[in-house]
Amino acid sequence: MRKTASLTENEARYLKLIYRAWEDSRQLGTTDIARILGVQPPSVTEVLQILHSKGLLRYKRYKKIEITKLGIKVAGKLLRRHRILEVYFADILKCSPEEACEEASRVDFHFSDRAIDALSRIYSTRTCPCGKHIPVRSQVLREREHTSSVPNRVVFSSEHQRRYP
Ligand SMILES: [Zn+2]
C-alpha cells in the first residue's frame, strides 16, 4: 500500500488542516492548530518543523504558516482521497456529511490511489457531501488559480473539518 510522500498519518492531518485553511484563503498559526486539534503548542511546533523540512510549508515561530506548492500538491492528493471517501461513505451509509467526514478521516490516509481512482470512476461528482471541491489528480496545482478567480467561493458553515481534521 503506497502512502503519500513520506508523511506520517499525524503529519498528514496537519497538512490537510493547513490546506483547508488555504482553500478558504486563511492562514493558520501554531495556536490555531493547537486549539483545533486539541494538542499542546510545542507538539504542533514539532510537526510544523518536520513539514517545513520536507518542503511542504514555510514555518517560522510566531508567524502564520504558509503552504508551499509542493505542500498544495501533496495535500491536494490527501484531500482528494478524503473527499472521494466522504462521497462513498455518505452513499453507502446514507449518513450526514459530518459522519461521512468522520468515517473518511479514519481511513483516508491508508487508501491507495488505485482504490481512490476506482471509487472516483463510480462517483462522478466533483464535490464532496459538504460541498467542497474534490481536487482532480492533475489539477491540484491549478486549483489555486481557479479558487482566486471565484471570489464568492462558498464557505460551508458546518466546518466539520475542525472536529475531524
Ligand atoms: Zn467534505
Question: What is the arithmetic mean of pLDDT over 148-164?
Answer: 38
Instruction: Measure 79 CA to ligand 1 centroid, in angstroms.
Output: 9
Judge residue 123's burial from the number of C-beta atoms within 10 Å of its C-beta, 0-12 exposed, 13-18 middle, 19 or more buried.
middle
**Regarding predicted confidence, which is higher, 75 or 146?**
75
Q: Provide the pLDDT for residue 6.
A: 85
How far apart are the CA of 69 and the centre of ligand 1, in A?
Answer: 22
DSSP secondary-structure letter at 23?
A: H
SS (H, E, C) 34-76: HHHHCCCHHHHHHHHHHHHHCCCEECCCCCCCEECHHHHHHHH
- The answer to whether the beta carbons of residues 83 and 132 sit under 8 Å apart is yes
pLDDT of residue 137: 78
Say if pTM beats, i.e. exceeds, 0.75. Answer: yes
Q: Confidence band (pLDDT; 50, 70, 90) for 11?
A: very high
Instruction: Convert the pLDDT of each residue in 23-32 to its tens digit.
Output: 999 999 999 9
- Tens-place pLDDT, residues 54-69: 999 999 988 899 999 9
Ligand 1: distance of its center to the CA of 130 in Å? 4
| Ligand 1 midpoint to CA 148 (Å) | 20
pLDDT digit string (tens) for 91-136?
A: 999 999 999 999 999 999 999 999 999 999 999 899 999 999 999 8
pLDDT (average), residues 129-151: 63
Cα 21 to ligand 1 centroid, rounded to whole Å = 13
Q: Are 84 and 127 in contact (CB under 8 A)?
A: no
Confidence of residue 139 (pLDDT cuts 50, 70, 90): low
CB-proximal residues (5 Å) to ion ligand 1: 86, 128, 130, 132
Averaged over 66-73, what is the pLDDT? 96
User: In this model, does residue 152 exceed pLDDT 50?
Assistant: no
The set of cell numbers assigned to 73 is 500538491
CA of 84 to the centre of ligand 1 (A): 9
Evaluate whether 160 touches 98 at the Cβ level (below 8 Å). yes
Whether 104 contacts 85, CB under 8 Å? yes
